[in-house]
Amino acid sequence: MAMKINTITALLILCALSSAAQTKTKHEQWMDDFKRTYADEVEKEKRLNIFADNLAYIEKFNSEDNGTYKLGLNQFSDLTYEEFVALHSCIKHEPVMVESGFNVTAKPPKRKRVPPSMDWRQGGAVTNVKDQGDCGSCWAFATTAAVEGILKIEKKPLISLSAQELVDCDKENDGCSSGSIFKAFDYMKKNGIAKDDDYPYKAIVGECLSNIKRAGKISGYVRVAPGEQNLLEAVAKQPVTIIIATDEKFRDYKSGIFGNGPCGPKQTLTFNHAVVVIGYGGKGENINMEELQHGSLFSKLISLTKY
């Protein structure tokens, strides 16, 4: 009996060593893929352990057949979720936000008829997905994307607008350290905005170049009332900027329809990212809901709207 127990223990140790070796090999390959280096061996060991935890989380999630999407390794895989949020959150607290819901005693609003599906990419009102890099500027990308869309819908040429101008010149916001989507729209209402070609993105706060030719301007903006139907009706007219709360699955997203998240009462959520909703409806791969101006990792992320 003792020999049998010792044999089982030895096998368990060998399996653990084999798994650790495989994880270390994957980490080395990941470092090469993403050009990651560390200051010293202590930092490398720390990041390896975090990488191992994230890899185990990803593999467990994918093995459970969660249906519409898969997780995978990416450039954030050696960060804890807390580090990821601290480094990449890009939204100031928006005190005007209210909880989605309805008053059961109120008269239901008269609903507007909308198309059964909408994809503003097919309408030619969506530019390419941008990469914000290590700058917390999602607020700038998500707002310029909505303005790009409405300008195209109003029969103007589709052009990429300058997120960098907002990062440099919108002094009501904090450049690469987060911002308010409402203040960004206020800036573009007052000052207009340059083309991205004329004022390209640098992913760092620089000197404000205010004398560059204006490529577009808005006369105002409307805050969409709480409720999914209100969002649906707004997106039927144009791309719409929203802010969202994210979780570990968002960080580790790989492919498919991202259809769940940390939904709950507003008080329990941390809104930390801005995106632009570019459509709704459809089936399967045609459910294309968000252009996430977060980075090239999320250039193919698609999602159901459940906000």
Under DSSP, is residue 177 helix (H, G, I), strand (E, B) or coil? strand
Q: Flag whether 71 is in a domain.
A: no
Predicted local distance difference test score (pLDDT) of residue 107: 45
Question: Against a cut of 0.85, is the pTM above it?
Answer: no
Distance CA 36, CA 145 (A): 31
Please name every residue paired with 70 in a beta bridge, in sequence order, or none if there are none.
255
Name the band, by pLDDT with cuts 50, 70 and 90, for residue 249.
confident
Tell me what the mean pLDDT of segment 24-47 comes to. 96
Lowest mean pLDDT among 11-15, 98-102, 168-172, 295-299: 295-299
Residue 150 falls in which region: left (phi positive, over 0), alpha (psi -120 to 50) or beta = alpha
Burial class for 284, CB neighbours closer than 10 Å (0-12, 13-18, 19+): exposed
pLDDT at 298 over 50: no
143 in Cβ contact with 181 (< 8 Å): yes
Identify the band that residue 282 occupies on the pLDDT scale cut at 50, 70 and 90: low
In a domain, 202, yes or no: yes
Query: The tokens 């593999």 sit on which residue?
Result: 59
Whether the CB-CB separation of 182 and 220 falls below 8 Å is answered with: no
For residue 225, which amino acid is it? A
Is the domain of 51 the same as that of 181?
A: no
Domain end marker among 16, 34, 65: 65
Question: Is residue 120, in this structure, part of any structural domain at all?
Answer: yes
284 phi-psi bin (left φ>0, alpha ψ -120 to 50, beta other): left
Is 16 exposed, middle or buried (CB count within 10 Å of its CB: 0-12, 13-18, 19+)? Answer: exposed
Q: Let me know whether 87 and 56 are in one domain.
A: no
Instruction: Judge if 170 and 276 occupy the same domain.
Output: yes
264: in domain? yes
Task: Give the C-alpha distances (Å, rounded to integers) separating 252 from 95, 96, 114, 291.
Answer: 29, 30, 34, 17
Tell how far CA 283 is from the center of its chain: 22
Domain that holds residue 283: 81-303
Same domain for 277 and 165: yes
Query: What was the pLDDT predicted at 226?
Result: 82
The domain boundary, picked from 10, 34, 65, lies at 65
| Residue 70 within any structural domain of the chain | no
Q: Identify the band that residue 13 occupies on the pLDDT scale cut at 50, 70 and 90.
A: low
Tokens 């399967």 sit on residue: 284
34 and 177 share one domain: no
Same domain, 29 and 158: no
Are 236 and 123 spatial neighbours (Cβ–Cβ below 8 Å)? no
Is the separation of the CB atoms in 55 and 26 below 8 Å?
A: yes
| Domain-embedded: residue 214 | yes
Please identify which residue in the block is written with the tokens 């960004």.
184
Q: Please report whether residue 75 resides in a domain.
A: no
Q: Which residues are catalytic?
A: 132, 138, 273
**Residue 290 belongs to a domain with what CATH number?**
3.90.70.10
Chosen domain end from 37, 65, 93? 65
One domain, residues 200 and 163 = yes
Same domain, 223 and 250: yes
Say whether both 182 and 120 belong to one domain. yes
Query: Of the ranges 123-127, 228-232, 237-241, 303-307, which one carries the lowest mean pLDDT score?
Result: 303-307
Do 17 and 137 lie in a common domain?
Answer: no
Residues 117 and 175 in one domain: yes
Confidence grade of residue 265 (pLDDT, cut at 50, 70, 90): low
Domain count, the chain: 2
Compute the chain's Rg from CA coordinates: 23
Of residues 88 and 153, which shows the higher confidence score?
A: 153
The pLDDT value given to residue 15: 52
Beta strands across the sheet bearing 69-71:
69-71, 253-258, 302-303
Contact 257, 304 (CB under 8 A): yes
Residues 278 and 233 occupy one common structural domain: yes
What is residue 284's predicted lDDT score, i.e. its pLDDT? Answer: 42
